[in-house]
Amino acid sequence: MSDNNNQKIFNLCCIALTVTSMTFAIRAGILGQLGADFGLNGEELGWVNAMAFLGFPIATMVGGVIYNAIGARKLIALAFICHLLGLVLTITAGGFWGLLISTFLIGFANGAVEAGCNPLIAEIYPNRKTTMLNRFHVWFPGGIVIGALLSSLMTSYGLNWQWQVGIILIPTLIYGAMMLKTVFPSYDDILHSTTDNINHLLNPLYLFLVVCMTFTATTELGTQQWIEKILGASGASPMLVLALITGLMAVGRYFAGPIIKAFNPTGVLLGSAVFASAGIYTMSIASGNMVYVAAILFAIGCTYFWPTMLGCVAEYTPKTGALGMSLIGGVGMFAVSMWNPVIGGWIDTASNEAQQMNLTEVQASIFAGQSVLQNLLMFPLILIAAFVILYVLIKKRTNQPEVAS
């Protein structure tokens, strides 16, 4: 296929991923408004959030299995339909159940984008797979920056949450229209065996990476999704904090190559866990402008979690194939979906405790946010220990042939 058509496909995928990330950012920015408009408590908002993270892994796992059977075009078309339906149903939702169903559809669409676009980009750029996949994934944090800034701007002008969700329809319709004019490549469904991939999923190292992914995903996305509720009274703008975090992540991922080369994937993951721990801890005690400093530390920690975990699967357990990469991404999102109601419950509990302490409303919100951040700190702390173990395991495996000889 021509370079020009490949560029069209790549641009389409980037816009689709931007839609995905904008849904994350804007949902984080409107949680408070949703709670007020529909009378939802923290746990109920957690279940609404959970649907996005539940729909995502279902789509990635199903998509990973059927990709060769139906092709990228149909998977991305399914993503478009679900994005369109989910966004419209969110805008017209009448309460908790409407939000639950519409958010699940959006989450499913987001997962279908990942399942369709990742192997498609690898196929059209066979000699630049890693480079182009890294550039593609820049648009997850990049889209969050766009969504966070739009949410903050629209809120400042008094535009309600329906308008903020509606703005996502613009890039959705753009990538839908682009699909009609784009020629997708043919695919070869016998180059890789899904059955063979399944047989290698029980590799102990792969299972260890899967467990680690549940903690890295929750550290990154669990914290970001509740940023408005956690930092709302801190004196810093929650959406600007989110934009700062994800903006730094986008830049960091674009220039990831030299860092991975210098420290290797396991070293990068260990360093990431240390920085994420420092960032969350600092956010839990900071106020005002110091929150932005804490956010920088947190951003450095989370920048390489997701792509480097996928890289570890590709590098250290290659026989799990594309299915292994789709599955670990799905498991990560599923973990976040399960932790979201728990995080919402932590906010409710902390808020109730604050009310019994006779604090002002602002003081109570700060107390609740700091309490939740202290609970979230356990995830990156666990990862520090896990990645020390991973570093030792990989180092031993790398040195094994030399010892044997």
Position 37 scores a pLDDT of 86
pLDDT > 70: percent of the chain: 93
Give the pLDDT confidence of 307-346 residue by residue, as tens digits: 888 778 877 888 887 788 788 888 988 898 888 888 888 8
pLDDT exceeds 60 at position 381: yes
Question: What distance in Å separates the CA atoms of residue 369 and residue 220, rounded to the nearest whole number?
Answer: 16
Position 106 scores a pLDDT of 95
Average pLDDT over residues 40-55: 83
Angle subtended at Cα 301 by Cα 299 and Cα 305, rounded to the nearest 5 degrees = 105
Give the domain 3-182+194-404 fold: Growth Hormone; Chain: A; (1.20.1250)
Least confident among 73-87, 115-129, 193-207: 115-129
Position 192 scores a pLDDT of 59
Average pLDDT of the residues of the chain:
85
Give the pLDDT confidence of 195-245 residue by residue, as tens digits: 777 888 999 999 999 999 999 999 988 887 677 667 666 677 776 787 788
- Confidence bin at 45 (pLDDT 50/70/90): confident
Closest among 376, 42, 368 to 219, alpha carbons compared? 376
Q: Which residue has tokens 């478009």?
A: 80
Q: Specify the higher pLDDT residue, 27 or 82.
A: 82
Sequence ranges of the domains in the chain: 3-182+194-404
Least confident among 119-133, 200-214, 348-362: 119-133
Position 232 scores a pLDDT of 66
Q: Counting every residue, how long is the chain?
A: 405
Q: Specify the higher pLDDT residue, 216 or 126.
A: 216
Average pLDDT over residues 374-398: 92
